[in-house]
Amino acid sequence: MIDKNNKSATILMFHVHKNYGSKKALIDINLDVSKNELLFITGPSGAGKSTLLKLLYLGEPVSEGQILIDGMNLSRISRKRIPLLRRKLGIIFQDYKLIPTKTVFDNVALVLEAMGKKRQFVQKKVNSMLRTVGMEKRFNAMPQSLSGGEQQRIAVARAVVGSPKIILADEPTGSLDSESACVIFDLLEGFHARGGTLLVATHDEKLIRKTGCKVIHLKEGRQISK
Amino acid sequence: MILFFKIAIQDIRTNRFLNAVTIITIALSILIVSALILFFVNANDYMNSWKKGIKIIAYLKPDIVEANLVDIKSKIQGVYGVAETDFISKEEAMKRLRKQIKRQSSLLDGLKDNPLPDAFEIRITEQSANSEKIENLAVQLESLPEIDDVEYGRKWIGRFVKVFELFKLTGYAMSGIFFIAAVFIVASTIRLVIYSRREEIEIMRLVGATDRFIKVPFYIEGIIQGALGGIIGLAALFATFIYISTNVEHGLSSDLLHVRFFSLRLSCTIMLCSMLVGWLGCFISLRQFLKE
């Protein structure tokens, strides 16, 4: 049972439904994710994993039900406050979503610049983040000149650089070889170890078994186990 | 602000082709609108010089003696709207008539007395050069006891002033229409730029960028595009002006047609309008795009 007054929860979902016309993508999802929790969302393709994450970063509006993230009710959030919500989140996509016309440095710096951070701070923080993901030497490279694993490392750096409370990762290792997948997951675990909350949508069973963390299984839009 | 400028310059560099298309569109729009304005500025000058040439003739009664002329002249000059007065004696008037009719001047030889009256030729001030004011002025002159009759091209002046006013109004309306058309053409071109960068904008939004953070570099881009388009448009117009005016002034008497280019002030105003077109085009496109 979900407790609406659960203050320690970072993410709360109450009877959430998502419909695309007559198609039901998510049906009655209830979820509470505590601070510093690592949660896997699994299920076959089309089960609704990506849709669930989209609802959390307001990439799509919910059709029914309510979502609370760090005290913000997403059903009542004004358009102006959406950027504030997204700054609490770091989002990682399977297709990386790096801006092709910006350098590695500028892609990562974008988050801090959008937050209005000072130039010196941005410089220092981005360089340190690129060192953490092992990409400091490629700071001036364009994304298309990097391998998939390297691009995903930049995407992780971008997700983490703004010190978000939560990271939402949508199939972060989906298109990577096992070696690159390990590097990415180690980086994400590093974020979790520093106290961050992590939601990972994946169907990489090896990854789930390796951590032994909480798992939600989705099938045809329904939550079938926790 | 420095950051926004940096982003704007970087964006112009990376999207060179579409930015060039936008700048050329603005340049062409500015070229068309300013060519129209230039035509109206010169036409206005020409019409004003015509207006300055409007004269009223006040014929004096036959019994006026020469000693009273100074008094009459000062009375006429006291009437509001009179700029200059010249006395034309009946002898002078006859001379002029002979000159005007040249070959037929022998017809005048049979006259025993000069039938022409003494008169004052009156030039009016620029402010009074409209048909109503001229008519009022004529009535006032007629009321002077020494004046027999007042003559001016009543119908001609009325028509001329109306045509002039219509001409001015057409100028304003056409410039306005072209300005609006330019804004919408530029907005459509900028929409293409924004559409080509929709993924980038979407990513910016996903990482927490506010609409303001996304918009400001675009606005700066729009203003820069407007400025560059304005410079190119005005330079092209200036080159065309130099070419045409050199050829036209060679072909025609310079007294008849003296053309001039925009003053520095008007050039600056056009540049500001061009920057406004760039910004407004961006504003309209972004407002629609970010709403979606």
Give the pair of three-digit tokens for residue A175.
Answer: 């298109």
Q: Is pLDDT of B131 > 90?
A: no
Would residue A100 count as lying in a domain? yes
Q: Per-residue pLDDT averaged across B170-182, rounded?
A: 83
Instruction: Output the pLDDT for position A165.
Output: 92
Q: Which CATH class is domain B55-151?
A: alpha beta
Digit-coded pLDDT (tens) for B137-161: 888 888 888 888 888 776 677 777 7
* Closest chain B C-alpha to A102 CA, distance in angstroms: 9
Instruction: Output the pLDDT for position B224.
Output: 93
Instruction: Output the pLDDT for position A4.
Output: 55
Side-chain-side CA neighbours of residue B187 (13 Å) = 16
**From A102, A114, A158, residue closest to B209, measured CB to CB:** A114
A133 vs A136: CA distance, rounded Å: 8
Would residue A71 count as lying in a domain? no
Instruction: Output the pLDDT for position A109.
Output: 95
Instruction: Output the pLDDT for position A6.
Output: 56
User: CB of A27 within 8 A of CB of A221?
Assistant: yes
CATH number at residue A112: 3.40.50.300
Residue A142 neighbours by CB distance under 10 Å: 16
Digit-coded pLDDT (tens) for B93-109: 888 888 888 777 777 77
Its ipTM equals 0.88
Would residue A10 count as lying in a domain? no
Instruction: Output the pLDDT for position A126.
Output: 96
CA B27, B28, B29: angle at the middle one, nearest 5?
A: 90
Instruction: Output the pLDDT for position A1.
Output: 47
Q: What are the boundaries of each domain within chain B?
A: 2-50+160-291, 55-151
Pick the more confident residue, B190 or B262: B262
Chain B positions contacting chain A at CB under 8 Å are: 3, 10-11, 14-15, 199-200, 203-210, 213
Q: Per-residue pLDDT averaged across A168-197, rounded?
A: 86
CA B117, B123, B126: angle at the middle one, nearest 5?
A: 160
Name the least confident of A20-34, B53-67, B221-235, B263-277. B53-67
| Beta strands in chain B, from DSSP E residues, in sequence order | 55-60, 82-88, 119-124, 147-151
Would residue A94 count as lying in a domain? yes
Would residue A4 count as lying in a domain? no
Instruction: Output the pLDDT for position B154.
Output: 65
A143 Cβ under 8 Å from any chain B Cβ: no
Helix, strand, coil shares of chain A as percentages rounded to 5? 40, 25, 35
Would residue A70 count as lying in a domain? no
Pick the more confident residue, B123 or A167: A167
* Residue A18 neighbours by CB under 8 Å, 6+ apart: A24, A25, A26, A48, A51, A55, A60, A62, A63, A221
**From B15, B203, B210, residue closest to A99, measured CB to CB:** B203
Digit-coded pLDDT (tens) for B34-73: 988 888 888 878 777 777 777 888 999 888 888 888 888 8
Would residue A69 count as lying in a domain? no
Amino acid at B198: R
Determine the structural domain holding residue A183 and report its residue range: 34-60+79-219
User: CB of B137 within 8 A of CB of B82?
Assistant: yes
Instruction: Output the pLDDT for position A56.
Output: 95
**From B3, B203, B209, residue closest to A83, measured CB to CB:** B209
Pick the more confident residue, B69 or B130: B69
Name the least confident of A34-48, A208-222, B77-91, B161-175. B161-175
| Cβ–Cβ below 8 Å for B3 and A119 | yes
Total length of chain B: 292
Would residue A20 count as lying in a domain? no
Instruction: Output the pLDDT for position B286.
Output: 87
Nearest one of A170, A208, A172, A215 to A51, comparing CA atoms:
A170
Domain count along chain A: 1
Helices and strands counted in chain A (H then E): 7, 10
